[in-house]
Amino acid sequence: MISAILFPVKARVSNWIKRYLPAEIVGSITLFVVGLGIDALFHNPVFTAFGGAYGEFIGYYGTILFNDLRKQKVKHTKITARIFIKTIKHLFFEFGVAEFLDSFLVRPFALYIFPLLLHNVGLGLIVGKIAADIIFYIPTIIAYELRMKFGKE
């Protein structure tokens, strides 16, 4: 009985890891490259926070979009404008609410405050990223599960 309850949870967590982990890896790399690069150039915590946040945005969503289009190419052999637009709509449904809050409020604030509190830019970026990710993934996973449940894949 317990395994019947846990199996769907394991399968869902496995799907989340397959979907989000590659994007997290690339996004983390771009966050640190851009964030630390901007910090080295300007020594301005606001520039560092926004640079890291938007560096991560580019790496993360570039990876998600690439992977989603690759899956569509397997299904359809060719990516048409219609398939591309449909993929973008699905991404807006899945990430829209979370990304709006994340990009304009949570992530820049976390990437600003933690380096200051910890007196270490690198460690602060890591802690800030983790804090922002926790808040980001709650609405994202809910939207993803709704999309999967209602056949919006």
Structural domains in the chain (count): 1
Q: Which domain holds residue 125?
A: 19-149
The answer to whether residue 9 is domain-embedded is: no
Helices (runs of H) and strands (runs of E) counted in the chain: 5, 0
The answer to whether residue 14 is domain-embedded is: no
Query: Is the pLDDT assigned to residue 1 strictly greater than 80?
Result: no
The answer to whether residue 112 is domain-embedded is: yes
**Percent of the chain at pLDDT above 90?**
84
3-state secondary structure 105-117: HHHHHHHHHHHHH
**Entry pTM:** 0.90
The answer to whether residue 7 is domain-embedded is: no
The answer to whether residue 10 is domain-embedded is: no
Model pLDDT for residues 15-68, shown as the tens digit of each residue: 999 999 999 999 999 999 999 999 999 999 999 999 999 999 999 999 999 999
